[in-house]
Amino acid sequence: MSDALRICLVGATGLVGGKVLEACVGREDVRIQAVARREANLPHGIRIEYFVADPCKWSEIFEALRPKAVICTLGTTWKKACEDEAAFRAVDQELVLNTAKAALDNGVERFVHVSSVGADPASKTFYLRVKGEVERDLTRLRFNRLDILRPGLLLGRRDNDRRTAERMGIAVSPIANLLMHGKYRQYRGIDAELVAKAAVSLAKRAARGRFVHDNDAIMRAAHSLPALVET
């Protein structure tokens, strides 16, 4: 695996992060690493360097690992943050940006961040305003390549914290998706597995620039990830 791309995942314990790990099982073109605050349930057969540490130590881990790319799937929910704005910002904004700065300081060239459809620093909705502020500040960090994913409603099984409104949204998603056309396509539900595959695919791209991907672009990126070769 000497020519494999070193990708460090931050946020392995979440829905998309877990799917990123699954997407890397059996791949010889990537060398997956992970940094987290706690242990995660690792998929069978994965080869990984997994480090559990306080976020204040993550910079040291980036320095030791020297990944080429970082995939950031960090995030909490309004419920987990106890409906406290400061607690929400501590994870979705401060931790994300501190992670990005630590990665950049240690030579990371590519940063892939999972944000949300509707992210806008001028939004009247607190959640979307924070997401937009994070996107804006990530752009200012000047990575060689920055990919921001803006998925619609994430579809996939969570072990916990499935909110009632979210469950209802997932239940009606197959029908709702059929009714969303034009500018509304970006709000369609999308499988977390596709978002994860897109993140891995984009982390492998060397072209410089800053790119924002809606649902359609995420699906194209996911389908561009080379399939595993059966042996």
Answer for the pair 20, 199: CB distance below 8 angstroms, yes or no.
Answer: yes
Each residue of 149-195: pLDDT tens digit? 999 989 887 665 555 555 554 455 555 555 555 666 777 889 999 99
With bands split at pLDDT 50, 70 and 90, how would you rate the model's confidence at 79? confident
Residues annotated as part of the active site:
127, 131
**Across the chain, what does the average pLDDT equal?**
90
3.90.1150.10, 3.30.930.10, 1.10.1740.10, 3.40.50.720: CATH of 5-154+190-224: 3.40.50.720
Each residue of 103-155: pLDDT tens digit? 999 999 999 999 999 999 999 999 999 999 999 999 999 999 999 999 998 98
- How far apart (Å, rounded) are the C-alpha atoms in residues 32 and 40? 14
